[in-house]
Amino acid sequence: MLQQIKAIVEQKPDGTLKEMQQLFEVHGLSLSISSIFNALNKLGITLKKCHTELDRINSTTTIASRQAYATYFISNAPNNMEKCIFIDKSGFNLVHRNFARSIRGSRTIVILLTVRGRMVSLVAPMNA
């Protein structure tokens, strides 16, 4: 039973205790939320702030396109960099959960699928 709970946490680390209970009910097992919580404590699995990564951020095509743009920019950059204005954009997705479970002492990384959701963007221009 403990190994099944560990497998569920590895499969969906940002799942709630109620969602875990429902996954067990699908397999025909009835566990209380407190039993699942106690099993997580016994396994050393804690709830902590998760670190998210988008699935497309570090894909091979994205890295190749970044390198191609950097090469293009370096070859076409103006001589006087004081006239350049760089625009930095950061996006925040408000759809995903901020906390997930993992074994004590390890970092929780949740890979998010590229989905359309409530996004907040921050745009900042910078120069030398």
pLDDT tens track for 38-59: 999 899 998 888 777 767 777 7
DSSP states along 97-113? -SEEEEETTS--EEEEP
User: What tokens does 92 get?
Assistant: 């925040």
Task: Specify which residues 122 forms β-bridges with.
Answer: 90
pLDDT number for residue 38: 92
pTM of the model: 0.53
**pLDDT above 70: percentage of residues in the chain:** 86
- Model confidence over 99-120: pLDDT tens digits? 888 778 877 777 766 655 666 7
d(CA 31, CA 101): 19
pLDDT of residue 112: 67
Q: Would you say 14 and 51 are in contact if contact means Cβ atoms under 8 Å apart?
A: no
| Ranges of each domain in the chain | 2-126
